[in-house]
Structure 1
Amino acid sequence: MSKKFFVNVLIFIAALTMVTLGFWQLSRHSDKKEINNTINDRILENPVNLADLRIDQQTESSLTNIEYRSVQATGLFKHSDSILVRNRPLNGSPGYWLLTPFDLGNGRVVIVNRGWLPIAAEDFRQTNSDQITIEGIIRKTQVASGLQREDSKEGKLASLGRVDLSRYQQQLEYEILPVFIQVINQDPPQSSNFPKMLSIPEFKEGQHLNYAVQWFIFATITIIGYPLVFFRNRRKKDKGFGQSDIPIDYL
């Protein structure tokens, strides 16, 4: 088989691969959009009472189905058992998240992400023991992934690398629910500016649509450009372009 045949096959495979990657990115864009719409719908729903969800009876897969659900709960903060989550910047300022156990009564306790603290407020503590009602969204526990470093499994930690409920549980003398609440409102309101409650997460489709367009452009250039170059070179060859009329013996 000629070299030209192999080149044509390679060009065809390259174009087909680019088109396939383009449709794959479109599929990812569609899937991401559907997931984001589902999450946004959960966030915008009217808050339900946390007790009605029976969190302690949920399976791992069912917890995924209620993540980001808007909930409300009434109870007491257990301030003495609060812990920080380090390396949590806000608008470019370094700081922490403040996690505090929230006693719901009847032996049930849920961890609440109360918001952001600046580095200077590392030793921030509250002693208010009044009963309050909070509103927020359900979040699942976080674990180290990839090259992330896990927290030490020994001793009592002053801070965590992420909201790892299993590690937090190790230094508490009572059971906590397998999810935490990111608080977005509380009644009565907190008496100080800190911790600063976190904004509701925004979910976007990312760059998948742009990547799809790029792959289709590359495929179009390959499909149209290669034949043009091929026939142009073929025509030049047929017309003898680039060949000298001077006999080689004369040179």
Structure 2
Amino acid sequence: MARPYLNARRIAALALLALVAAACVALGNWQLDRAAERDAISRAIESGRQSAPLALGPDTPPGQFQDWRQAQAGGTWLHRFTVLLDNRNFNGRPGFWVATPLLLDDTDDTAVLVLRGWVARPVNPGERLPDLAPPAGTQAVSGQLRQRVPRLFELWSFSGRDPNALPRAFPAADGAPPRVQNLDLADYAAATGLKLLPVVLEQTSDEAAGQGAALVRDWPLPPTDSDTNRGYALQWFSFAAIAVIAWIVIAWRALRRRAAKSGAR
């Protein structure tokens, strides 16, 4: 009995190759989208850093709040509202970001949340966090603006505790700054009762010698290497091309077998 020119095995192979090609094309397009996103971030960073420095105040128009724009603010630190952002690593070392509001206007409790810097997590016996109290009195702080506190991917907690829960009252009962993984400005404003600007200031200026803790102010930037994504896209499109070529070869052989059978009749 003659073998059919298009049996179940060939049909399955053609269907599988079509699915592989479609999936590879979709993944390649996704990588191109990621490259476009990184290009947009790179342009936003450049645009923000080229903008004129902004003086922050209670009446600063929200339209002036541009990511990565340099800004300055003057006010007094509200250390009782300090929060530690957990799981922030620096050069492979675990640690915290220290976030403290800077009071801009004490008549209506207007403040801006300042990410003051990174401090190492105590890991060895006997180690403790340094005194994180900022300098007293009116201070001038400069840095770069962010639309929100940079977030980390949140893992499910076995304890069932919300890793972002803030205390009902500040300071906490034990006097230690609360620790959260991610900090939402609206939740923080509700917990503290402050009228926060809808922006975060990543501090880059140093305190005067002998004032405040020695914090690291080397802020990470989001990935902007779009060429890597384009390289991945090229690989996926290459895999798709291989699948299409294999599909064509199988289909061509099936058609040739059919033509041979037709000519033999």
Alignment check: 8 A CA contact 2:58 2:104 kept: no
Supply the distance in 1 between the matched residues of 2:208 and 2:167 (Cα, whole angstroms): 37
Alignment check: 8 A CA contact 1:71 1:136 kept: yes
Which residues in structure 2 correspond to 1:53-64 (within 5 Å)? 54=60, 58=62
The TM-score normalised by the length of structure 1 is 0.72
Alignment check: 8 A CA contact 2:167 2:191 kept: no
Supply the distance in 1 between the matched residues of 2:134 and 2:236 (Cα, whole angstroms): 58
Supply the distance in 2 between the matched residues of 1:153 and 1:81 (Cα, whole angstroms): 10
| 2:32 corresponds to which of 23, 26, 36 | 26
Aligned: 1:198 with 2:218 = yes
Alignment check: 8 A CA contact 2:14 2:247 kept: no
The TM-score normalised by the length of structure 2 is 0.68
Supply the distance in 1 between the matched residues of 2:208 and 2:55 (Cα, whole angstroms): 17
**Alpha-carbon distance change, 94 to 8 in structure 1, aligned in 2, over 3 angstroms:** closer
1:132-169 CA-partner distances (Å, limit 9, x unpaired):
32221222345787655443355345323223333333
Supply the distance in 2 between the matched residues of 1:15 and 1:21 (Cα, whole angstroms): 10
Supply the distance in 2 between the matched residues of 1:86 and 1:19 (Cα, whole angstroms): 39
Supply the distance in 1 between the matched residues of 2:100 and 2:195 (Cα, whole angstroms): 14
Q: How many residues align?
A: 233
Structure 1 residue 181, shift from structure 2 partner: 0.8
1:159-187 CA-partner distances (Å, limit 9, x unpaired):
23223333333443532223221111246
* Farther-moved stretch of structure 1 (175-184 vs 126-135): 126-135
**Alpha-carbon distance change, 16 to 204 in structure 1, aligned in 2, over 3 angstroms:** same
Supply the distance in 1 between the matched residues of 2:235 and 2:220 (Cα, whole angstroms): 32
| 1:15 corresponds to which of 15, 21, 30 | 21
Using CA pairs under 8 Å that are at least 6 residues apart, name the structure with larger relative contact order, 1 or 2: 2
Partner of residue 244, structure 1: none
Structure 1 residue 228, shift from structure 2 partner: 4.1
Partner of residue 165, structure 2: 152
* Farther-moved stretch of structure 1 (186-195 vs 99-108): 186-195
Supply the distance in 2 between the matched residues of 1:146 and 1:98 (Cα, whole angstroms): 19
Q: Structure 1: where are the runs of 5+ without partners?
A: 240-251
Partner of residue 214, structure 1: 235
Partner of residue 116, structure 2: 114
RMSD: 3.8
Identity rate, percent: 23
Aligned: 1:132 with 2:151 = no
**Alpha-carbon distance change, 30 to 114 in structure 1, aligned in 2, over 3 angstroms:** same
Supply the distance in 2 between the matched residues of 1:134 and 1:66 (Cα, whole angstroms): 17
Greater C-alpha radius of gyration: 1
**Alpha-carbon distance change, 49 to 224 in structure 1, aligned in 2, over 3 angstroms:** same
Q: What residue identity is the alignment partner of 2:201?
A: I
Structure 1 residue 234, shift from structure 2 partner: 8.7
Partner of residue 42, structure 1: 48
**Alpha-carbon distance change, 127 to 136 in structure 1, aligned in 2, over 3 angstroms:** closer
Alignment check: 8 A CA contact 1:183 1:198 kept: no
Structure (1 or 2) with the greater helix fraction: 1
Structure 1 residue 218, shift from structure 2 partner: 0.7
**Alpha-carbon distance change, 21 to 88 in structure 1, aligned in 2, over 3 angstroms:** closer
